[in-house]
């Protein structure tokens, strides 16, 4: 394994252990303490009843309505990537396709298709770009399939490892992946795997023997810096960053009325038990978006969704409920914020890319790049 950043300061270690202890002899979160460095940003989260506004955040918003055709209907959007003025959208559960649209929202082609033949997958679990090539993960068949950015099938890569998400780290020419179930392979106690583009294991990161199995909020996302990947995990109050230098803790939340340290051990992975015991507490949902100036995140506070914005310049945090009245009145900033905070979003410099329902933007024609007739989804581009 690569060396892990600088030696952590004692004060931050003590804070981490006090809020993250999970009540076992081999504390899983204690294993993360050596990733804390002087550069880790501590964020105090104090949820209020004041509605969080994005009016001062967004400088411009553009909407592209996707033109759908018979046989090319998107059921849900699990991931979106912009590449060479095209948009690549993953629908892994309903249509089980990767759709490609141009900058006007016109459908161009699919990447692969469901099947068991060459260039086909059982399910497109995730995808990423390696240069101009598209790498598609099929978790169920333990394969990665490589295509050109025009959809031509290039090669089929088998792997013995199980993982559910992938992002390419260009400066290390490797993939960072969320570990799946690798029973008997010795990898089940790690949350992240670094693998090469042929599916071979390079390193394992974030050992966690008491990992809770209902933490669906965990996610890999690209950072605002080239070659950096962000890993956030629901219920755990820390956010990690991965680059060619290894893994380190980037942010650490200190949340008012946060979960007690023994919650994970008490629940033993049962979601119903968790909700019965701890629904009156506040905790990080795992949803996060990191930009050069702002960190956007969501917290669950007494079953309600709370938006958080941390300003890296002023080092101030605002936390409160979303602007529901703005959404109901078709306020474009409130709708864009909802799409960004509640769905998949990706950062490109000072631009945030996400998707939303076309119906929500029906009264904002001055911001539209294409007509919304016959569409159900639109692409939202918010400049900050």
SS3 266: helix
Range of the domain at 119: 10-47+73-301
Question: Quick one: pLDDT at residue 21?
Answer: 33
Question: Quick one: pLDDT at residue 9?
Answer: 35
Question: Quick one: pLDDT at residue 81?
Answer: 97
Return the higher-pLDDT residue of 216 and 309. Answer: 309
Is 78 inside any structural domain?
Answer: yes
Contacts of 323 (CB under 8 A, 6+ apart): 51, 52, 53, 54, 331, 334, 337
Backbone φ and ψ for 33, nearest 5 degrees, come out as -65, -30
Tell which residue, 165, 167, 200, 206, has the closest CA to residue 185. 200
What 3 state SS string does 300-336 have?
EECCEEEEEEEECCCCEEEEECCCHHHHHCCCHHHHH
Return the higher-pLDDT residue of 8 and 297. Answer: 297
CATH number assigned to the domain comprising residue 266: 2.120.10
Confidence tier at 183 by pLDDT (50, 70, 90): low
Length reported for the chain? 384
- Total number of domains constituting the chain: 1
pLDDT for residue 142 is more than 80 = yes
Is 56 inside any structural domain?
Answer: no
Q: State both tokens at 76.
A: 């849900």
pLDDT for residue 10 is more than 60 = no
Is 117 inside any structural domain?
Answer: yes
Report strand pairing: 246-255 vs 41-45: parallel
134-143, 275-284, 366-375, range with greatest mean pLDDT:
134-143
- Tens of pLDDT, residue by residue over 222-270, are 888 877 899 988 888 889 988 777 788 899 999 999 988 778 778 776 7
Work out the average pLDDT over 206-211.
64
Is 148 inside any structural domain?
Answer: yes
DSSP codes of every residue in 91-103: ETTTT-EEEEE-T
pLDDT for residue 214 is more than 60 = no
Question: Quick one: pLDDT at residue 225?
Answer: 81
Is 227 inside any structural domain?
Answer: yes
- Tens of pLDDT, residue by residue over 304-331, are 999 999 999 999 999 999 999 998 888 9
Is 334 inside any structural domain?
Answer: no
pLDDT mean across residues, the chain: 83
Is 125 inside any structural domain?
Answer: yes
Is 60 inside any structural domain?
Answer: no
Radius of gyration of the chain (CA): 21
């Amino acid at each position: 394994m690569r060396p892990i950043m600088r030696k952590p300061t004692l004060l931050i270690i003590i804070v981490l252990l006090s809020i993250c202890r999970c009540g076992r002899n081999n504390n899983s979160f204690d294993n993360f303490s050596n990733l804390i460095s002087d550069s880790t940003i501590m964020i105090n989260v104090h949820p209020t009843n004041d509605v969080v506004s994005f009016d001062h955040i967004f400088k411009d918003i553009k909407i592209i309505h996707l033109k759908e055709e018979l046989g090319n209907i998107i059921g849900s959007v699990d991931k979106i990537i912009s590449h060479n003025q095209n948009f690549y959208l993953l629908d892994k559960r309903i249509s089980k396709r990767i759709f490609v649209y141009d900058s006007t929202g016109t459908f161009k082609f699919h990447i692969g298709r469901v099947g068991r033949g060459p260039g086909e997958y059982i399910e497109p679990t995730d995808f990423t770009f390696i240069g101009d090539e598209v790498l598609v993960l099929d978790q169920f068949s333990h394969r990665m399939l490589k295509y050109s950015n025009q959809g031509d099938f290039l090669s089929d890569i088998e792997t013995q490892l199980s993982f559910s998400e992938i992002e390419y780290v260009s400066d290390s020419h490797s993939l960072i992946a969320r570990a799946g179930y690798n029973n008997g392979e010795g990898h089940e106690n790690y949350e992240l795997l670094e693998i090469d583009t042929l599916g071979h294991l390079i390193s394992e990161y974030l050992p966690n023997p008491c990992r809770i199995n209902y933490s669906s909020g965990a996610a890999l996302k690209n950072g605002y810096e080239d070659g950096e990947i962000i890993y956030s995990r629901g219920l755990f109050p820390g956010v990690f960053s991965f680059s060619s230098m290894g893994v380190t803790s980037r942010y650490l939340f200190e949340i008012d009325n946060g979960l007690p340290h023994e919650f994970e051990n008490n629940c033993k992975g049962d979601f119903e038990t968790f909700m019965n015991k701890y629904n009156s507490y506040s905790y990080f949902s795992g949803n996060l978006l990191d930009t050069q100036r702002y960190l956007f995140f969501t917290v669950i506070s007494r079953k309600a969704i709370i938006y958080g914005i941390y300003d890296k310049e002023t080092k101030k945090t605002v936390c409160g409920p979303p602007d529901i009245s703005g959404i109901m009145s078709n306020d474009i900033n409130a709708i864009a914020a909802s799409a960004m905070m509640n769905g998949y979003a990706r950062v490109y410099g000072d631009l945030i890319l996400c998707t939303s329902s076309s119906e929500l933007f029906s009264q904002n024609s001055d911001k539209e790049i294409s007509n919304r007739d016959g569409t159900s989804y639109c692409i939202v581009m918010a400049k900050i």
